[in-house]
Amino acid sequence: MNSPDISLVIPIFNEAANLRPLAARIGSALDVCDVSYEAVFVDDGSSDESLDILRDLCAEEPRFRALSLSRNFGKEVAIAAGLDHAKGRAVVILDADLQHPPEAIAKFIEKWREGYKNVYGQRIDRATDPKLRVALTRLFYRLLENFGDVRLPPGAGDFRLLDRQAVDALLTMRERARFNKGLFAWIGFKSIGVPFEVEERATGKSKFNFSRLARFALDGLMSFSSIPLKVWTYVGMGISAFALAMAVYYWARTMLFGVDTPGFPTLVVSIAFFSGVQLISLGVLGEYVARIFNEVKGRPLYLVAERLGGEETSAREVNNTLKT
Ligand code: UDP
Ligand code: MG
């Protein structure tokens, strides 16, 4: 089989109601693009009827393929699985909930043909998001910008087109604590943003609640910055300098005014405070050690339980497929 021009990679977690409308919109949006394409749906361990619907869709449409992962591995890993199995000369990643309008892909392809290898969709509007989420997102980006080793273009997300060369670069990165937005920026290549309007989620609600987003943000910061590890040297130096100054102060006071026994509250408060500081720094160390532990175990990124549509099997797929 010749590789198609475009592979769509679509992560799916409990999106049953969105799949048919999505398939229809993909069809009408790409038919006007004058490209050959395939769609790789990655069922990320859905517990609703998503997989059954994918089964029907793949039977009806030869350009559709689907993988079903053995459990929910998270969107970042689902995207990695889709990239592993995409065969196109370029890959477009989009959400299944129709928040990423397939009609924007025509513009991506235009830029790709101009020679851009990393064409990212740039949200014009996040009015659909709650205020607190917007504020925290902004804080996260500011932290990453100041302390991380990647620069994320504002408004860029996972909705993007990647040239085969960029996809192959991403495939070499098998890290388990994945933060795709950072990886997309890290690989570089000639990049450009294409503005698009975020739509309301078609049906259902976002899979990312507050604690999941917080964990995701932590993954992003820790994968792309070692500042949280290093900062303790400076905190420690600051505290030591403060302790030294206190020592001098108490020595001088004792010399001048004699011994002053009370001081119990100061003692308790400072012991509690500095124990807290030490535990926080240990905790940060622990976060990194846990991530190192996860990486050195060298487990596969994901396991494929079932493949639907398409015939050929890639080498990587064999490696990742559950032996039954
Ligand atoms: N998704 C996934 N695995 C997960 C969570 C989400 O594959 O564990 C998919 C989901 O089905 C959707 C996309 O990732 O296609 C974006 O998810 P969602 O719309 O919930 O996130 P948001 O738009 O709020 O960032
Ligand atoms: Mg969404």
CATH classification at residue 35? 3.90.550.10
- Ligand 2 centre distance from Cα of residue 58 (Å): 23
Same domain, 172 and 312: yes
Quick one: 172 exposed, middle or buried, by C-beta within 10 A (0-12, 13-18, 19+)?
Answer: exposed
For the Cβ of 180 lying below 6 angstroms from any atom of ligand 1, the answer is: no
Same domain, 110 and 194: yes
Retrieve residue 104's tokens. Answer: 């924007």
For the Cβ of 147 lying below 6 angstroms from any atom of ligand 1, the answer is: no
Examine residue 115 and state whether it is found in any structural domain, yes or no.
yes
Examine residue 41 and state whether it is found in any structural domain, yes or no.
yes
- Counting from 1 in the atom list of ligand 1, the atom nearest the Cα of 99 is 23
Residue type, 50: S
- Counting from 1 in the atom list of ligand 1, the atom nearest the Cα of 10 is 15
For the Cβ of 206 lying below 6 angstroms from any atom of ligand 1, the answer is: yes
Most confident of 54-63, 134-143, 315-324: 54-63
Same domain, 36 and 69: yes
In angstroms, the CA 8 to CA 160 distance is 10
pLDDT-derived band of residue 322, with 50, 70 and 90 as boundaries? Answer: very low
Q: What is the mean pLDDT of residues 147-175?
A: 90
- Ligand 2 centre distance from Cα of residue 206 (Å): 5
For the Cβ of 15 lying below 6 angstroms from any atom of ligand 1, the answer is: yes
Same domain, 169 and 244: no
| Residue matched to tokens 């087109």 | 161
pLDDT at 247: 85
For the Cβ of 208 lying below 6 angstroms from any atom of ligand 1, the answer is: yes
Same domain, 309 and 272: no
Q: Give the residue with greater pLDDT, 83 vs 242.
A: 83
pLDDT at 69: 95
Residue 90, beta-bridge partner list: 6, 163
pLDDT at 207: 79
In angstroms, the CA 79 to CA 195 distance is 22
Q: Which of 285, 267, 265 is nearest to 275 (CA)?
A: 267
Q: Which of 218, 210, 207, 208 is nearest to 182 (CA)?
A: 218
Three-class secondary structure of residue 227 per DSSP:
helix
Looking at the chain, the whole-number percentage of residues with pLDDT higher than 90 is: 44
Residue type, 73: F
Same domain, 290 and 315: no
- CA geometry: angle 170, 178, 232, nearest 5 deg: 120
Same domain, 63 and 169: yes
For the Cβ of 43 lying below 6 angstroms from any atom of ligand 1, the answer is: no
For the Cβ of 75 lying below 6 angstroms from any atom of ligand 1, the answer is: yes
Q: Which domain holds residue 276?
A: 227-296
Same domain, 187 and 272: no
Cβ pair 83, 166 in contact under 8 A: no
Examine residue 218 and state whether it is found in any structural domain, yes or no.
no
pLDDT-derived band of residue 318, with 50, 70 and 90 as boundaries? Answer: very low
Same domain, 287 and 303: no
Three-class secondary structure of residue 160 per DSSP:
strand
Q: For the chain, how many residues are written?
A: 324
| Residue matched to tokens 């005014």 | 257
The string over 60-72, giving b where at least 16 C-beta atoms fall within 10 Å of a residue's C-beta and e elsewhere, is: eeebbbbbbbeeb
In angstroms, the CA 81 to CA 262 distance is 65
Residue type, 29: A
Examine residue 246 and state whether it is found in any structural domain, yes or no.
yes
- Counting from 1 in the atom list of ligand 1, the atom nearest the Cα of 97 is 15
Same domain, 202 and 259: no
Examine residue 216 and state whether it is found in any structural domain, yes or no.
no
For residue 110, count other CB atoms closer than 10 A to its CB: 13
Please count the structural domains in the chain.
2
- Counting from 1 in the atom list of ligand 1, the atom nearest the Cα of 207 is 20
Asked if residue 323 has pLDDT above 50, the reply is no
Cβ pair 48, 79 in contact under 8 A: no
Q: For ligand 1, atom 22, which residue shows the shortest CA distance?
A: 206
Examine residue 204 and state whether it is found in any structural domain, yes or no.
yes
Same domain, 205 and 168: yes
Examine residue 222 and state whether it is found in any structural domain, yes or no.
no
Examine residue 219 and state whether it is found in any structural domain, yes or no.
no
| Residue matched to tokens 């902004």 | 138
pLDDT at 118: 94
* H helix or E strand, kind and range, residue 42: strand 37-43
Same domain, 86 and 233: no
Distances (CA, A) of 108 to 10, 37, 79, 92: 16, 14, 18, 9
